[in-house]
């Protein structure tokens, strides 16, 4: 009896030592493979079991898969099974199947794996262990069941710890990867900021895709103010033209995983091994499409990879936009510089000093609606107390109109010394302009010769707004309309006509372009001649300079300083 007690004590101590040794190994190890292998060796060695298998639940696949197998079985590791374990099987840590049942997988029954040991913690079901028969064919004793239960409890904690540890390791790896990506993006942003060369930015982008993501093939389609173009490409066959790729732009408005399609839905890249199409946006507006091929290391694109591609793509997009904006700024500054030069030249074409004429006041103003304009006026000395007064309006605005105006000014000065009369000179000017300008260019033109001694003004009106002659004695207006067709419309077939008017003391002639009478208020109603006549009549006692200023102020007030056309005005007044 004493010997039996000693044997029982030794057996208890042996099993306790086995449990303690196993618990130390299992708890200290974070290697799931080692934990499983050690457990099966313990169980099979202590219980004399011929075969076994461990199944762990895969949450992503929502099924169990065999992580370890021992003995002769019809299945191997990685064997997967979708099995909803009955609650009755889970009532105890160890459950033995005594009769074949539809609730128990046939694979397990046929392999004589009839004992299931549940691996679980208080809040998580991890999997199960299947045990085959003992070598002596005996059923498990209560002592053996307690031994297995103890080991499995320790195993459950070890597996849970191992999974937690693996999750932490993976989280740390992901964190390290994120830190590396942030460092990469930071370094790239410095590289992009240091260059204004678009080609250099795209080269850096290409090397970043290859070095960071192992991407050899890609294309970048960019939308510049509605014009789409392929800014960069690599690994795309030469026979594929840029114009073949561009239509993809309008078809992609969300991330496209091409490897999820059985057939490529985009004919433009059919047959090409591209995996992702990513729309890139700035300020919520689509600006580019990035297409990328597979990674050279064979790895699939993760959500983290796609986020990195978006960050890299948007960084490149902003850098490219910067180069275009810089080019626009440089071009704008160049144009402004040229316009300032053109404006300065145009100002020099206008008379910088108006000749003084006995008994007459003369004041003039030219204000272009843009940097340069197509309005023109001139006052040219033509002898003692004689002056040619001219005003013109070239169709259009800006530099083209100013060039025509410069030509007209040159012709007036050349013809001033000619012996031809005003109508003949006007015909000559018309023919030159007609022969040397496009058919849509023409000039409204008025000029006349003032003889201050004789108080006579002889003029020709070539389609221009008729100057207003205010008669101080009667308070009435005359319109100076005699002349002919506007300049440059047709060759001179009919001679231009002239007229001479006598000027009395206090008479005023106001010469103007349509920038005066066609100025519009907020209701799009024009200033019109009637308002101009009323102002002239009301302010006729003013000097020529003062009357000019009054008219300009009234026009600008009427249109709220929003001149829609060049404004040119000449005021001539006989004061004695």
Show the domains of the chain with their CATH numbers.
Answer: 2-166 (3.30.450.40), 195-326 (3.30.450.40), 350-574 (3.60.40.10)
Q: Count CA atoms within 13 Å of residue 86 on its CB side.
A: 10
Question: For each of the chain's 576 residues, which pLDDT tens digit applies?
Answer: 445 445 455 555 545 555 555 555 555 555 667 777 777 777 787 788 889 999 989 888 889 999 889 889 999 999 999 999 998 888 888 899 988 888 899 999 999 999 999 988 877 888 899 999 988 888 888 888 887 887 777 777 777 666 666 666 665 665 555 656 556 666 666 776 767 788 888 888 888 888 777 889 999 999 988 899 999 899 888 888 999 899 999 999 999 888 878 778 888 888 888 999 999 998 889 999 999 999 888 888 888 888 888 888 888 888 888 888 888 888 888 877 766 766 676 677 788 889 999 999 999 999 887 666 678 899 999 988 999 999 999 886 667 777 788 888 888 888 887 788 999 999 999 999 999 888 888 999 999 999 999 999 999 999 999 999 999 999 999 999 999 999 998 999 899 999 999 999 999 999 999 999 999 999 999 999 999 999 999 999 999 999 999 999 999 999 998 888 889 999 999 998
pTM for this prediction: 0.53
Residue 132 in 3-state DSSP? coil
Q: For the segment 321-369, what is each residue's pLDDT rounded down to a tens digit?
A: 888 888 888 888 887 776 676 667 667 778 888 999 999 999 999 988 7
Are the C-beta atoms of residues 378 and 388 closer than 8 Å to each other?
A: yes
Q: For the segment 92-122, what is each residue's pLDDT rounded down to a tens digit?
A: 888 999 888 888 999 999 999 999 999 888 7
What would the two tokens of residue 488 be? 């440059």
Residue 246 in 3-state DSSP? helix
Sign of CA dihedral 265, 267, 273, 278: negative
Helices 399-415, 303-349: crossing angle, 10 deg rounding: 10
Distance CA 38, CA 18 (A): 12
- Helical (H) or strand (E) element with 63: strand 63-70
C-alpha R_g of the chain:
49
Letter string b/e over residues 395-414, b meaning 16 or more CB atoms within 10 A of that residue's CB = bebbbbbbbbbbbbbebbee
Q: Give the residue among 343, 348, 230, 342 at the shortest CA–CA distance from 289.
A: 230
Are the C-beta atoms of residues 207 and 192 closer than 8 Å to each other?
A: no
């Amino acid at each position: 009896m004493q010997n039996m007690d000693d044997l029982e004590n030794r057996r208890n101590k042996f099993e306790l030592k086995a449990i303690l040794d196993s618990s130390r190994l299992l708890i200290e190890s974070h290697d799931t493979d080692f934990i499983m292998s050690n457990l099966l060796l313990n169980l099979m060695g202590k219980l004399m079991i011929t075969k076994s298998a461990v199944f762990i639940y895969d949450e992503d696949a929502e099924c169990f898969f065999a992580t370890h197998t021992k003995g002769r079985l019809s299945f191997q590791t990685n064997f997967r099974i979708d099995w909803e374990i009955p609650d009755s099987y889970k009532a105890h840590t160890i459950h033995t199947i005594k009769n074949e049942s539809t609730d128990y997988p046939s694979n397990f029954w046929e392999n004589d794996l009839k004992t299931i040991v549940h691996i679980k913690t208080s809040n998580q079901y991890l999997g199960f262990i299947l045990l085959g028969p003992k070598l002596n064919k005996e059923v498990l004793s209560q002592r053996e069941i307690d031994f297995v239960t103890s080991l499995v409890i320790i195993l459950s904690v070890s597996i849970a710890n191992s999974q937690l540890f693996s999750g932490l390791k993976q989280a740390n790896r992901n964190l390290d990867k994120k830190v590396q990506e942030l460092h990469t993006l930071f370094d790239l942003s410095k590289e992009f900021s240091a260059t204004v060369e678009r080609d250099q930015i795209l080269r850096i982008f290409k090397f970043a895709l290859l070095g960071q993501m192992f991407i050899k093939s890609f294309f970048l389609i960019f939308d510049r103010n509605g014009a789409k173009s392929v800014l960069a490409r690599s690994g795309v066959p030469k026979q594929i033209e840029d114009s073949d790729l561009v239509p993809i732009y309008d078809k992609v408005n969300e991330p496209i995983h091409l490897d999820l399609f059985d057939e490529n839905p985009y004919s433009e890249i059919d047959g090409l091994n591209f995996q992702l199409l990513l729309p890139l946006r700035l300020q919520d507006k689509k600006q580019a499409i990035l297409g990328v091929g597979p990674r050279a290391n064979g790895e699939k694109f993760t959500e983290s990879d796609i986020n990195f591609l978006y960050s890299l793509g948007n960084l490149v997009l902003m850098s490219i936009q910067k180069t275009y904006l810089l080019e626009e700024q440089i071009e704008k500054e160049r144009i402004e510089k040229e316009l300032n030069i053109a404006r300065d030249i145009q100002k020099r074409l206008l008379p910088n000093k108006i000749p003084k004429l006995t008994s007459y006041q003369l004041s003039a103003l030219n204000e272009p609606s843009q940097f340069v304009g197509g309005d023109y006026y001139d006052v040219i000395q033509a002898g003692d107390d004689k002056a040619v007064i001219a005003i013109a309006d070239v169709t259009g605005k800006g530099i083209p109109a100013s060039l025509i105006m410069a030509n007209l000014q040159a012709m007036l000065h050349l013809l001033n010394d000619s012996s031809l009369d005003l109508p003949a000179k006007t015909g000559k000017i018309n023919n030159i302009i007609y022969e040397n300008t496009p058919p849509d260019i023409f000039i409204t033109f008025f000029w006349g010769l003032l003889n201050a001694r004789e108080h006579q003004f002889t003029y020709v009106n070539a389609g221009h707004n008729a100057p207003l002659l205010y008669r101080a004695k009667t308070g009435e207006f005359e319109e100076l309309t005699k002349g002919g067709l506007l300049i440059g419309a047709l060759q001179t077939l009919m001679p231009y006509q002239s007229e001479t008017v006598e000027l009395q003391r206090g008479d005023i002639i106001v010469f103007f372009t349509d920038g005066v009478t066609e100025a519009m208020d907020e209701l799009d109603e024009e200033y019109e001649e009637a308002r101009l006549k009323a102002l002239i009549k009301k302010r006729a006692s003013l000097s020529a300079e003062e009357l000019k200023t009054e008219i300009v102020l009234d026009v600008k007030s009427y249109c709220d300083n929003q001149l829609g056309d060049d404004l040119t005005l000449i005021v001539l007044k006989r004061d004695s």
